[in-house]
């Protein structure tokens, strides 16, 4: 396959290294090593050894896994008689089925269960909310600084903040609040798309001044009249009064007398409520050491800005004070400003290095030569020219790529280009694909590669004349010459074994052990599948899906089903020799849905009955995946396994696990083992799956520890998804499970994919994060890739870049579509390069930076103590900000915390990452929860990590009921909650409805149909359907939030002061957390101190 094919040892491109150290290609599929010559070429097909799947001759696997229905008893070493009983004939035909059944209790012969008609339609997903409006590109960037106006006042050193050793110090003790128990565990990660929230924000507020500087401690209101510190040129200080003060002085400003409210001038939205929530005060002594007691009140000359001890007045030795939360950068404000400034015009991708609107802004994209930000987002759109600069800044250079991202209906899917038998046109040397940046020369007879500068001949059939500007006259007729994203039809050279692929298959593999039956899962699932199989993904206008389906059930043994259309009843085949898995039947296992509908329906009706009385509690796991993979191999196709599993696989079999959960390891050097798989067997299995294009989606229904860290290895390495529904009960969880299942089964998937990222000379991709497998250092192999998954790629310099030519990325994804068509999807992106660090800082995107940093940290916990990982993040953040301060901000007092405009939210967001469950778990967060979240975040896109780490909190009764838009969010802090209001909080996985204790009775009645607050059921997960405007609005809003996320968020109603409230407070991320995580204010102060240490 050619995506990988790199040319012979040609030098300068990063990509073409011939040798892949570190990975043995040979180890595939249990082949004895060494078959694989180290050719630089890639994974697929002919010349490519690495990918071959058929075991080399002489391999020891007994039943040649592929083909050959092991009908012969001889081969089946099973100790059980079961298998041996089937003669070929029995297996494949004839109604005889009873023989096989003996293996499980409770089973009954397939009788004459009436064929149930196919029922209900699954709901159709609606991926996108209302059409985005559009955005206008403004370049707002400029250095924003939290500069400490208060400079003088600040005792140079951390004023009063004890030398916080590091945030980590704050960890440690977990007050145990037992409430975590109900951690809504399963909630899945939102794979959603950047699509913003519909909701327009109130148009107020003008754009932020370009650079803002923010004094740190001081809080005062926004715009202080007299800033002491020098102000960056270009930063309008007095400028448009931003709603959000940009100038914050970092060392904590003086304390406000308790209860004092900063009602600065047009400051940020005033805390909605003040007095009774102790929230803020409590935090002040946070993690950073002593000294933050209540402060005397420093009278300030500015009425609205009480703080600034330092201002004009004589500097007084300030006792430590706390920052005014309204004076520090607010995520809400930044999001709102971006929506207002960029939400109304389309983002046109013509120009190089443009920073797109934020992921929280709803905008349309016009592709004019660069890939849409829905496909690629970068940490910076302006890359330092030299590696020295890059090292100095410490800003990671990374791209978050979502190759198959779903687009809103207003935007066209990539065009498919067919270059006929010759296949896509590529550079002979670096193998980059034709793209708008290639330069045609010599009258159009040749083209110079924009990645490696190689001059290539233009094949005669592709020749075209150039216009007076040197552009081909047909440039606008050809997507590959004018667009950032497009597809090529792949030729047979791009296919495994030089054969066009068969359509993929889906195999449903259902745990029928005691727990699965008892919880009602099996019955629910079988009922659902009867209709869901009518909604398998299909291509374009195809009438029916090309995907074939198969069914397996299992506990300690596996049961395969023959559902061939010619059968009157399905037949079951039991394989009890799980140690050496093979597929007992070929014909009739994978079938076309419409042809075999009657048999399938009959099977799904019978499964719950057959196992109804089972006593079997033990399960196997690895053999199930092995079986599915072997079935695909035998059918010579790629596909997906949907596994529905309930327990730790303790039955004797390969991949058997033991319970090794041990919370005592938390905060020790051995904590990392909790995240590591307990056996290498699953990696080996995953490799085989990848080679076969077998993607695994895992639905877990655990009642206790199941070792998610180990069970998720195969889904993770095959590009699959994991869903978790702890303590599953049909009544409580069916909606969430069915919703996730429908979406998962219906979503478009690319199979058997390989992704390669090429770059222009000077930088290259060096590291990758996501759900995939790599057998060399450049090719990202994805057994499956859906429209929700991202791959994050980090780049490093290997040469000097040039400002004039900029830097180019080309992501090529070779995959098999749902209909079995082999295609290449290409995304191109051109970035600017700079010799001034200020340009880097002006073109950064914090949300993407956080996405990268979270993934980096979450991978780090596999190998390093969690404290080390946290410290590394803090240090990196401090270095990034210190470098800006030193090189880009104008000289100013050390007391000023100066943040770049584009990164002013870096501290608050990073703090959210630091106190997330993976890096700083609360007492009730289980080991499985942590492993689960860790795994989810790995493939999240930027919009998902954004809301996951900083949840959205929406007040419900503040805005007029008639208003169709989402209410404006408020900051995630208890201080922002009014006890007379109701709020929705969501983070893509969890959804809470918080009810204040003093909410009007009318509101309570309208929403809950009860007469008082005390009668509301805490923990309620469904709101009654009532015919009044408020009820409709709130339920509508909940539906709309769910539609924006890729996993169903189960609602939990939380009453103020109720026990469950602790669970909710966990998500108020600006506050100090129970597990010891710092509040935003404390963290900002800590960050300031770290920066000052670096600068001194
Ligand atoms: Zn080239």
Convert 733-773 into a string of H (helix), E (strand) and C (coil).
Answer: HHHHHHHHHHHHHHCCEEEEEEEEEEECCCEEEEEEEECCE
Round to whole Å and give the CA distance between 643 and 508: 6
- Which residues contact residue 8 at a Cβ distance below 8 angstroms, ignoring those fewer than 6 apart? 18, 40
* pLDDT given for residue 321 in this prediction: 58
Count CB-CB contacts under 10 A for residue 652. 11
d(CA 330, CA 332): 5
Reported as type and span, the H/E element at residue 485 is strand 485-489
CA of residue 1011 to ligand 1 center, whole Å? 72
pTM of the model: 0.75
Going from the Cα of 427 to the center of ligand 1, the distance in angstroms, rounded, reads 5
The residue with tokens 């998720």 is 712
- Ligand 1 mean position to 807 CA, how many Å? 14
Indicate the pairing of strand 382-384 with strand 722-724: unpaired
**Start-to-end C-alpha separation, the chain:** 54
Tell me how far the alpha carbon of residue 375 lies from the centroid of ligand 1, in angstroms.
23
Q: What is the mean pLDDT of the chain?
A: 77
Q: Please give the Cα distance from 1 to 41 (Å, whole number).
A: 8
Query: What is the 385 CA–ligand 1 centroid distance (Å)?
Result: 21
Show the tokens assigned to 380: 């910076």
- The whole-number pLDDT of residue 218 equals 35
If you ran DSSP here, which 8-state letter would residue 844 be given?
Answer: B
CB proximity list for 272: less than 8 A, separation 6 or greater:
955, 958, 970, 976, 977, 978, 981
Pairing of strands 780-786, 347-348: unpaired
Q: Give the pLDDT of residue 168.
A: 33
**Cα 429 to averaged position of ligand 1 atoms, centre (Å):** 5
Could you read off the pLDDT of 588-624 as tens digits, one per residue?
999 999 999 999 999 999 999 999 999 999 999 999 9
How much distance in Å is there from the Cα of 432 to the middle of ligand 1?
6
pLDDT at 322: 63
CA of 687 to the centre of ligand 1 (A): 31
Q: How far is the CA of 419 from the centre of ligand 1 (A)?
A: 19
Could you tell me if 529 and 602 are in contact, meaning their C-beta atoms sit under 8 angstroms apart?
A: no
What's the confidence (pLDDT) of residue 581? 86
Angstrom distance (rounded) from CA 469 to CA 448: 16
The phi and psi torsions of 889 (rounded to 5 degrees) equal -90, 150
Kindly give, in sequence order, each residue whose CB lies less than 8 Å from that of residue 957, ignoring residues fewer than 6 positions away: 981, 982, 999, 1003, 1030
Q: What is the model's pLDDT at position 230? A: 34
Q: How many Å apart are CA 713 and CA 696, to the nearest integer?
A: 10
Q: What is the pLDDT of residue 895?
A: 80
Alpha helices, H only, 149-291: 279-283
Tell how far the Cα of 779 is from the centroid of ligand 1, in angstroms: 17
The pLDDT, as a whole number, for residue 768 is: 98
Q: How far is the CA of 773 from the centre of ligand 1 (A)?
A: 26
How far does the centroid of ligand 1 lie from the alpha carbon of residue 395, in Å?
28
Ligand 1 centroid–CA 20 distance in Å is 20
What's residue 964's pLDDT? 75
CB atoms within 10 A of CB 266: 17
Residues of the chain with pLDDT under 50: 1-319
Taking the centre of ligand 1 as the mean of its atom positions, its distance from the CA of residue 425, in whole angstroms, is 11
Please enumerate in sequence order all residues whose Cβ is within 8 A of that of 245, keeping only pairs 6 or more positions apart, or say none: 214, 219, 220, 221, 222, 223, 264, 267, 268, 326, 327, 328
Please give the distance, rounded to the nearest whole angstrom, from the Cα atom of residue 782 to the centre of ligand 1: 25
Q: What is the distance in A from the centroid of ligand 1 to the CA of 515?
A: 57
CA of 39 to the centre of ligand 1 (A): 19
> Do the beta carbons of residue 436 and residue 428 sit within 8 Å?
no
Distance between CA atoms of 279 and 920, rounded to whole angstroms?
20
Q: What are phi and psi of 1081, to 5 degrees?
A: -60, -45
pLDDT of residue 327: 86
**CB within 8 A of 666, min separation 6: which ones?**
674, 866, 921
Q: Checking DSSP bridges between strand 952-955 and strand 571-575, what pairing results, if any?
A: unpaired
Strand partners of residue 824: 488, 814
CA of 433 to the centre of ligand 1 (A): 8
* Among the listed residues 1092, 872, 1094, the one whose alpha carbon sits nearest the alpha carbon of residue 249: 1092
pLDDT value, residue 543: 87
Tell how far the Cα of 7 is from the centroid of ligand 1, in angstroms.
9
Distance 228 CA to ligand 1 centre (A): 54
The predicted-structure confidence for 513-525, as pLDDT tens digits, reads as follows 999 999 999 999 9
Find the 450 Cα to ligand 1 centroid distance in Å: 6
Question: Residue 1036 burial (CB < 10 Å; 0-12/13-18/19+)?
Answer: exposed
């Amino acid at each position: 396959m050619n995506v990988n094919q790199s040319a012979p040892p040609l030098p300068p491109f990063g990509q073409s290294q011939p040798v892949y150290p570190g990975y043995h290609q040979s180890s595939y599929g249990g082949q004895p090593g060494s078959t694989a010559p180290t050719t630089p070429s890639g994974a697929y097909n002919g010349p490519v050894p690495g990918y071959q799947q058929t075991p080399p001759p002489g391999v020891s696997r007994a039943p040649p896994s592929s083909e050959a229905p092991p009908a012969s008893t001889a081969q089946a070493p099973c100790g059980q008689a079961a298998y041996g009983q089937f003669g070929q004939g029995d297996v494949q035909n004839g109604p005889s089925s009873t023989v096989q059944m003996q293996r499980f209790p409770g089973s009954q012969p397939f009788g004459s269960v009436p064929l149930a008609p196919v029922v209900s339609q699954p709901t159709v997903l609606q991926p996108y909310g209302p059409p985005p409006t559009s955005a206008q590109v403004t370049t707002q960037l400029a250095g924003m600084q939290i500069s400490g106006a208060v400079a003088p006042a600040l005792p140079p050193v951390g004023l009063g903040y004890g030398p916080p050793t590091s945030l980590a110090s704050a960890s440690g003790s977990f007050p145990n609040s037992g409430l975590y128990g109900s951690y809504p565990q399963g909630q899945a990660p939102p794979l959603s798309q950047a699509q913003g929230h519909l909701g327009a924000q109130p148009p107020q507020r003008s754009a932020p001044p370009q650079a803002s500087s923010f004094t740190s401690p001081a809080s005062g209101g926004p715009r202080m009249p007299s800033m002491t510190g020098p102000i960056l040129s270009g930063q309008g200080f007095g400028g448009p009064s931003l709603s959000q003060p940009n100038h914050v002085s970092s060392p904590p400003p003086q304390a406000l007398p308790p209860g004092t409210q900063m009602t600065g001038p047009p400051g940020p939205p005033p805390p909605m409520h003040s007095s009774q929530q102790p929230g803020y005060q409590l935090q002040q002594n946070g993690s950073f050491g002593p000294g933050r007691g209540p402060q005397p009140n420093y009278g300030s000359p500015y009425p609205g800005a009480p703080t600034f001890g330092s201002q004009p007045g004589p500097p007084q030795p300030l006792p430590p004070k706390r920052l005014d939360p309204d004076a520090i950068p607010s995520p809400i404000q930044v999001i709102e400003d971006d929506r207002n400034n960029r939400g109304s015009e389309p983002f046109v991708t013509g120009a190089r290095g443009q920073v797109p609107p934020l992921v929280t802004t709803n905008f349309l994209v016009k592709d004019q030569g660069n890939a849409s930000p829905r496909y690629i987002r970068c940490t910076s759109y302006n890359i330092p020219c030299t590696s020295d600069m890059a090292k100095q800044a410490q800003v990671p250079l990374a791209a978050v790529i979502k190759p198959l991202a779903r687009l809103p209906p207003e935007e066209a899917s990539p065009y498919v280009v067919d270059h006929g038998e010759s296949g896509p046109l590529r550079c002979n040397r670096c193998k980059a694909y034709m793209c708008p940046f290639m330069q045609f020369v010599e009258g159009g007879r040749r083209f110079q590669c924009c990645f490696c500068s190689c001059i290539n001949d233009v094949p005669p059939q592709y020749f075209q004349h150039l216009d007076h500007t040197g552009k081909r006259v047909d440039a606008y007729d050809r997507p590959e010459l004018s667009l950032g994203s497009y597809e090529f039809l792949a030729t047979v050279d791009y296919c495994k074994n030089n054969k066009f692929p068969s359509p993929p298959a889906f195999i449903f593999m259902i745990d029928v052990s005691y727990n699965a039956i008892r919880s009602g899962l099996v019955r629910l699932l079988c009922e659902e599948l009867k209709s869901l199989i009518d909604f398998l993904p299909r291509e374009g206008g195809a009438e029916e899906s090309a995907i074939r389906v198969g069914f397996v059930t299992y506990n300690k043994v596996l049961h395969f089903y023959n559902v061939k259309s010619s059968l009157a009843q399905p037949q079951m085949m039991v394989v009890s020799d799980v140690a050496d898995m093979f597929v007992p039947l070929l014909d009739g296992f994978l079938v076309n849905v419409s042809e075999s509908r009657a048999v399938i329906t009959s099977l799904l009706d019978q499964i719950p009955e057959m196992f109804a009385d089972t006593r079997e509690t033990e399960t196997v796991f690895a053999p199930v995946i092995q079986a599915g993979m072997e079935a695909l191999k035998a059918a010579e196709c790629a596909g997906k396994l949907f596994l529905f599993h309930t327990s730790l696989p303790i039955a004797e079999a390969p991949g058997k696990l033991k319970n090794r959960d041990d919370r005592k390891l938390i905060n020790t050097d051995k904590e990392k083992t909790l995240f590591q798989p307990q056996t290498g067997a699953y990696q080996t299995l995953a490799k085989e799956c990848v080679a076969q294009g077998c993607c695994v989606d895992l639905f877990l229904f655990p009642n206790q520890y199941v070792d998610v860290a180990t069970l998720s290895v195969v889904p993770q390495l095959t590009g699959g998804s994991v869903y978790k529904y702890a303590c599953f009960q049909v009544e409580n969880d069916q909606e969430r499970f069915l919703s996730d299942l429908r979406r998962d089964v219906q979503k478009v998937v690319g199979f058997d994919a390989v992704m390669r990222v090429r770059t222009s000379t000077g930088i290259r991709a060096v590291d990758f994060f996501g759900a995939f497998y790599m057998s060399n250092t450049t090719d990202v192999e994805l057994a499956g890739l859906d429209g929700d998954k991202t791959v994050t790629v980090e780049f490093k310099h290997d040469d000097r870049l040039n400002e004039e030519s900029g830097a180019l990325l080309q992501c090529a994804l070779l995959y098999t579509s749902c209909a079995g068509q082999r295609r290449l999807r290409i995304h191109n992106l051109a970035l600017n390069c700079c010799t001034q660090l200020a340009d880097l800082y002006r073109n950064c995107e914090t949300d993407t930076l956080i996405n990268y940093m979270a993934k980096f940290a979450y991978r780090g916990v596999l190998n390093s103590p969690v404290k080390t990982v946290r410290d590394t993040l803090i240090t990196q953040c401090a270095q990034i900000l210190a470098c800006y301060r030193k090189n880009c901000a104008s000289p100013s007092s050390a007391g000023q915390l100066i943040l770049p405009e584009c990164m002013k939210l870096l501290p608050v967001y990073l703090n959210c990452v630091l106190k997330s469950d993976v890096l700083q778990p609360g007492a009730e967060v289980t080991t499985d929860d942590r492993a689960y979240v860790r795994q989810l975040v790995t493939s999240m896109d930027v919009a998902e990590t954004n809301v996951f780490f900083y949840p959205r909190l929406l007040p419900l009764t503040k805005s007029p009921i008639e208003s169709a838009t989402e209410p404006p969010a408020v900051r995630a802090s208890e201080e922002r909650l009014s006890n007379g209001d109701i709020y929705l909080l969501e983070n893509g996985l969890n959804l809470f409805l918080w009810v204040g204790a003093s909410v009007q009775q009318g509101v309570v009645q309208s929403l809950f149909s009860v007469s008082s607050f005390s009668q509301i059921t805490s923990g309620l997960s469904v709101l009654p359907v009532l015919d009044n405007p408020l009820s409709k609005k709130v339920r509508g809003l909940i539906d709309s939030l769910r539609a924006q996320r890729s996993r169903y968020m189960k609602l939990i109603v939380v009453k103020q002061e109720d026990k469950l409230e602790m669970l909710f407070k966990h998500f108020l991320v600006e506050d100090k957390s129970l597990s010891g995580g710092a509040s935003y204010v404390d963290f900002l102060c800590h960050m300031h101190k770290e920066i000052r240490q670096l600068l001194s």
